[in-house]
A and B are shown apart, each in its own frame.
Chain A
């Protein structure tokens, strides 16, 4: 009874700001996608319209995961994980190839990427695992969840999808830190090494010869740079740098308009945005993302139980990781691993997954409020 009342009043100013933030980011995404693709062949359905459809589907997922009691969701963690693993196996054998990787499952006119959903499911699985019973000792705190992560990770790396694989590891590391490996330093080191990986990587990576990098990257991800010689990375840097302080204006980005920038509407959307809106625009976007993550961590800190807290932390760190790595790779600090920019890049699976995750976050907050009623 009390619960119902609580749910009736769930939407407050925090939520409004939060959803408003999400809508602004989505708007930036749609605009940038339109700018990056408006010169495409006439007749085809414009990408920004398709993206709006994906946002619509994502909104449904958002509402479902927001409304549905997250404890009930958590109880479905293992079956969901089993399903995801099955889909990942399926994708290995029956998946649609695109750009050298087998990541997609075709569903009628659409195709979706199980690895995107695997990320969210992993967060739920780990949160569920840690909160179900007190986990003590190295075995229960580190090894067992590690084994839980491993099959999904391996299947994703096999596709290959280095970006999603790294996200997996990042989520796992963030969770470990939050449940508190007794020796805190281990967790801190682990988390920071993941977060600082792009920067450390630049140092190591920069010291290598071209051919060494090529070999390493060909081993890790054969598709990272199909035309060779860092063409994508360079074009992306040129796009960002040439934006200078004020940018070239909407539709003014020559790098993307003349198609020098590959994948301008998907993984390199940040470069398109940075070229057209300049450093000022970049600071605005970074501020929006920081606000989003900051508020998500607020939700985590005020969660009413450990499950909620871990869900919130897991989702926050997953989104944060994707944002940092995506911007880092477009800015040339990190090898190109193929991670989309959450809420901004074009792509159905990632969009639905991101919005569903954010729905789940607000779900956690909603439960927190209900406690006080």
Chain B
């Protein structure tokens, strides 16, 4: 075994081939080196970030939402602990298996879980799958934790409304921020699963009560076990709101409406404070703040009583005879009539070949503006309406805020309609017909209003023309400083009407209660001025009230203020399909007014201001420990 089997030629070949092998080795190592240079030097920073993210998970710390109190510090909305289930996406190994397990354990729809997992947001932001887990579910998940990589149970605060349905339309409800909302700039600091106000005060004051989420960095190993956590940014709790609502008055108003559909609004004419704003039927914000199934949603949305509709600010009704208040003012102020101008009412008003009937078929005889208001004579207002014309009527209506939103801080307030020739041209693309003026003069036809507008209107009258934007929140408590920031009343200017005119109209309105159509609102406690209204729903009516199907019956209106001498409260009552304002609405207003003065006994009749405060519940006691 010497070189025998290894010829010279072969030896040479062999050496050459070894060179090739060495060249190959070097080439390959250079390629490896380049690759590693690329990974470690060129993209090193990128991979370092990835490894940091691998190691640490950003866990959001939801802020506690600000609390909501009534005028005197009674708690209306707070937060209670609840369990939420989150999934950290990067730890899912088998998405479908996880979805299946979760849906089995929690009896959830797999499609819903899939959708939640696919929600918008960074890869490292855990997705919220379900909130308000029952204790049983939470324990079940915890005990299966090892089979559920990436699944976390977190204790969070859940919005709670101790009063249930009380003031539900004012308070609103909260819910997860929607995908569409997340697109908008005002929600840019939120993320999928964040809770935001979706209705009512919760929505319109969301930026005050929302607070700011903090986050902690949790170092985890590959199995998702927490090693340590560092709070990077503390969550800032939302600020507390103090409403102008007096919850005792609010509850009373709601009880007075009972099972009937309708709305009651009580304002302080001196500053626009909303003392009560009731709308029935109502909803339970505790239910709506929870995650609803599509079926539950459909039930609420399709409910014929439309409980989600805030009838006080969103319900648009013909004002009926309550509209005679601004009409009388308009006629006097425009000198269309004088206080002593009379009209003979024989029960009907002839216009062209059409007869507009008075509600009192026998007629009111000779009436002036005072008696026309007191007895709600239609013929008188047909006559002066015809004389004024629609555009003059519209001018005064607008001065009193009709046909425009009051600017109350609630979402989706409706503005009603104050028709004019211009309006008809623009909206209906038709010219105004003179006959249409006559219907509008008694608050029928095209004119529609919201109960809130009517309350604001009568408050303006009571306040001799100085009118305010209705205010729902009188103070915000800044949680970071502890300062109470008072939101000032917002005067909206003075309507261009002489005091004398207001005096005349208010006298007439006092007599409406004393001797006129609203004697059922007469109080032994306080002098009340008001005006009834009966808004026609169906154009043609025949036979007695009882024979008409309920949904075609008239709406009952009553607008009032008290005391007449120095008004402290203005009220609008609307009860749907209950017929005459004098019988169905006026007694409700009386109850509210009397209750108001009973509740504010010491201040009411003495004439001093009733400013909000904590007379019944000191601040320190009113605030329960929040989460």
Whether a CB of chain B sits under 8 angstroms from the CB of A109 is: no
Interface string of B430-471 (1 = CB under 8 A from A): 000000000000000000000000000000000000000000
Are A317 and B21 CB-contacts (below 8 A) given A71-B1, A255-B54? yes
In the complex, are the beta carbons of A324 and B28 less than 8 A apart?
Answer: yes
Contact A243 B54 (CB under 8 A): no
Most chain A CB atoms below 10 A, which of B13, B43, B51, B222: B51
- Tell whether A237 is near chain B: CB-to-CB under 8 Å: yes
Residue of A nearest to B16 (CB): A184
Q: Which residues of B contact A73 (CB under 8 A)?
A: none
Tell yes or no: A313 within 8 A of B by CB. Answer: yes
Q: Is the CB of A240 within 8 A of B25?
A: no
Candidates B35, B52, B94; contact of A333 at CB < 8 Å: B35
Q: Contacts of B179 on A, CB cut-off 8 Å?
A: none
Q: A180-B17, A254-B55, A300-B18 are in contact. Are A331 and B32 (CB under 8 A)?
A: yes
B20–A242 touching, CB < 8 Å: no
Contact with A along B366-408 (1 / 0, CB 8 A): 0000000000000000000000000000000000000000000
- The CA-CA distance from A191 to B24 in the complex, in Å, is 9
Contact A258 to B1, CB < 8 A, known contacts A191-B21, A279-B36: no
Q: Contacts A71-B1, A278-B40; is A294 near B28 (CB within 8 Å)?
A: no
Closest B residue, CB atoms, query A245: B41
Is the pair B93, A238 in contact by a Cβ cutoff of 8 Å? no
Over the window 8-52 of chain B, the binary record of Cβ atoms lying under 8 Å from chain A Cβ atoms (1 yes, 0 no) is 001001110110111011111101110111011101111110111
CA distance A32 to B615 in the complex (A): 73
Contact of B21 with A177 in the complex, beta carbons under 8 Å = yes
A347 to B520, CA, bound (A): 99
Chain A: minimal CB distance from B220 (Å): 7
Inter-subunit contact A259/B223 (CB<8 Å) = yes
- A283 to B223 alpha-carbon distance, docked (Å): 32
Q: Which residue of B lies closest to A324 (CB)?
A: B28
CB contacts under 8 Å to B, within A238-288, are 238-245, 254-255, 258-262, 274-275, 278-279, 282-283, 286
Give the residue of A134, A241, A305, A317 whose beta carbon is less than 8 angstroms from that of B43. A241
**By the criterion CB–CB under 8 Å, are A241 and B21 in contact?**
no
Known: A131-B5, A178-B17. A258 touches B227 (CB 8 A): yes
CA gap between A272 and B21 in the complex, in Å = 29
Decide if A174 is an interface residue (CB 8 Å cutoff): yes
Q: How far is the CB of A277 from chain B (nearest CB, A)?
A: 10
B362 adjacent to chain A (CB < 8 Å): no
Contact call B33/A286, Cβ cutoff below 8 A? yes
- A46 CB-CB contact with B under 8 Å: no
Task: Say yes or no: A286-B29 contact (C-beta < 8 A), given A180-B13, A238-B54, A278-B40.
Answer: yes
Q: Which of A231, A289, A317, A331 counts the most chain B CB atoms within 10 A? A: A331
Counting CB contacts under 8 A, is B233 at the interface? no
A149 at the interface (CB under 8 A from B): no
Most buried by B among A227, A239, A241, A259: A241
CB distance from B217 to the nearest CB of A (A): 13
A370 within 8 A of B: no
Does B3 touch A at the CB level, under 8 Å? yes
Interface centre among B36, B47, B50 (most CB of A within 10 A): B36
Closest residue to B39 on the A side, CB-wise?
A241
Residue from B18, B20, B33, B37 having most chain A Cβ neighbours under 10 A: B18
A238 and B40: CB pair below 8 A? no
At the interface, yes or no: A320 with Cβ under 8 Å from chain B? yes
Given A188-B20, A195-B28, A306-B6, A282:B36 Cβ within 8 A? yes
A283 touches B33 (CB 8 A): yes
- Asked if B298 is an interface residue, CB under 8 A from chain A, the answer is no
Report whether A324 and B32 are in contact in the complex, using a CB–CB cutoff of 8 Å: yes
Q: Is B540 part of the binding interface, using a Cβ–Cβ cutoff of 8 Å?
A: no
A254-B41 CB under 8 A given contacts A244-B48, A305-B2 = no
Complex: A71 Cα to B18 Cα, angstroms: 22
Q: How far apart are the CA atoms of A327 and B28 in the complex, in Å?
A: 11
- Tell me, in angstroms, the Cα distance from A74 to B478 when the chains sit together: 89
The reply to whether B25 and A294 contact each other, CB–CB distance below 8 Å, is yes
* Nearest CB of B to A205, in Å: 14
- The contact of B51 among A71, A239, A278, by CB within 8 Å, is A239
B88 to chain A, nearest CB (A): 14
Known contacts A227-B93, A305-B3, A306-B6; is A279 also within 8 Å of B28 by CB? no
Please tell me if the beta carbons of A245 and B40 are within 8 angstroms of each other in the complex.
yes
Q: Is B255 an interface residue (CB 8 A)?
A: no
Check if A177 sits within 8 Å of B5, measured CB to CB: no
Interface residues of B in 207-258 (CB under 8 A from A): 219-223, 227
Assess whether A187 is interfacial by the CB under 8 Å rule.
yes
Contact of B25 among A293, A300, A332 (CB under 8 A): A293
Interface positions of A from 305 to 325, Cβ below 8 Å from B: 305-307, 309, 313, 316-317, 320, 324
**A196 lies within 8 A of chain B by Cβ:** yes
- B5 adjacent to A297 (CB under 8 Å): no
Is A328 positioned at the interface, with any CB of B under 8 Å from its CB? yes
Contact A242 B21 (CB under 8 A): no
CB of B343 to closest CB in A, whole Å: 87
Interface centre among A242, A259, A275 (most CB of B within 10 A): A242
> Are A237 and B20 within 8 A (Cβ)?
no
Cβ–Cβ contact A134 & B5, under 8 A: yes
The answer to whether B17 and A187 touch across the interface, beta carbons within 8 angstroms, is: yes
Chain B residues closer than 8 Å to A307, beta-carbon distance: 1
Find the B residue at minimum CB distance from A260: B222
Residue-by-residue, is A199-240 near B (CB-CB < 8 Å gives 1, otherwise 0)?
100000000000000000000000000011001000101111
Q: How far is the CA of A258 from the CA of B45 in the complex (A)?
A: 20
Bound Cα distance from A259 to B222, whole angstroms: 5
User: Which of B18, B27, B40 has the most C-beta atoms of chain A within 10 angstroms of its own C-beta?
Assistant: B40
Cβ B221 vs Cβ A259 within 8 A: yes
Residue of A nearest to B219 (CB): A258
Asked if A258 meets B55 with Cβ closer than 8 Å, knowing A174-B21, A313-B21, A324-B32, the reply is yes
A37 cross-chain contacts in B, Cβ below 8 A: none
Residues of A within 8 A of B222 (CB): 258-262
**In the complex, residue of chain B having the shortest beta-carbon distance to the beta carbon of A281:** B40
In the complex, chain B residues whose CB is within 8 Å of the CB of A184: 17
- Report the separation of the CA atoms of residues A174 and B579 in the bound assembly, to the nearest whole angstrom: 104
Residue contact B22 to A294, C-beta cutoff 8 Å: yes
Asked if B21 and A255 make an inter-chain contact with CB atoms under 8 angstroms apart, the answer reads: no
CB distance from B43 to the nearest CB of A (A): 6
Partner of A254, one of B21, B40, B45, B51: B51
Nearest to B50 among chain A residues (CB) is: A238
Nearest B residue to A310 via CB reads B14
In the complex, are the beta carbons of B18 and A195 less than 8 A apart?
A: no
A368, chain B: closest CB distance, angstroms: 12
Q: Are A242 and B223 in contact (CB under 8 A)?
A: no
Give the distance in Å from the alpha carbon of A241 to the alpha carbon of B48 in the complex: 7
Residues of A within 8 A of B28 (CB): 195-196, 320, 324
In the complex, what residues of A have CB within 8 A of residue B43's CB?
Answer: 241
Q: Does A349 contact B (CB under 8 A)?
A: no
Closest to A293 in B: B25
Q: Does A83 contact B (CB under 8 A)?
A: no
Choose among A227, A258, A297 the residue that contacts B221 (Cβ–Cβ < 8 A). Answer: A258
Q: Which of B6, B32, B47 contacts A238 (CB 8 A)?
A: B47
List residues 46-82 of chain A with CB under 8 A from any CB of chain B.
Answer: 71
A178 to B55, Cβ gap below 8 A?
no
CB-CB nearest 7 A-B residue pairs: A241-B47, A244-B44, A242-B51, A258-B221, A259-B222, A279-B40, A241-B39
Known: A255-B51, A305-B3. 10 other contacts (CB 8 A): A174-B21, A178-B14, A188-B20, A191-B24, A192-B24, A195-B28, A242-B50, A242-B52, A244-B41, A327-B32
Which residues of B come within 8 Å of A, CB atoms? 1-3, 5-6, 10, 13-15, 17-18, 20-22, 24-29, 31-33, 35-37, 39-41, 43-48, 50-52, 54-55, 93-94, 219-223, 227
Between A and B, 22 residue pairs with Cβ closer than 8 Å are A178-B18, A187-B17, A238-B50, A239-B51, A241-B44, A244-B44, A244-B45, A245-B41, A255-B54, A258-B55, A258-B220, A258-B222, A259-B223, A260-B221, A279-B44, A282-B40, A286-B33, A301-B14, A305-B2, A307-B1, A324-B29, A332-B39
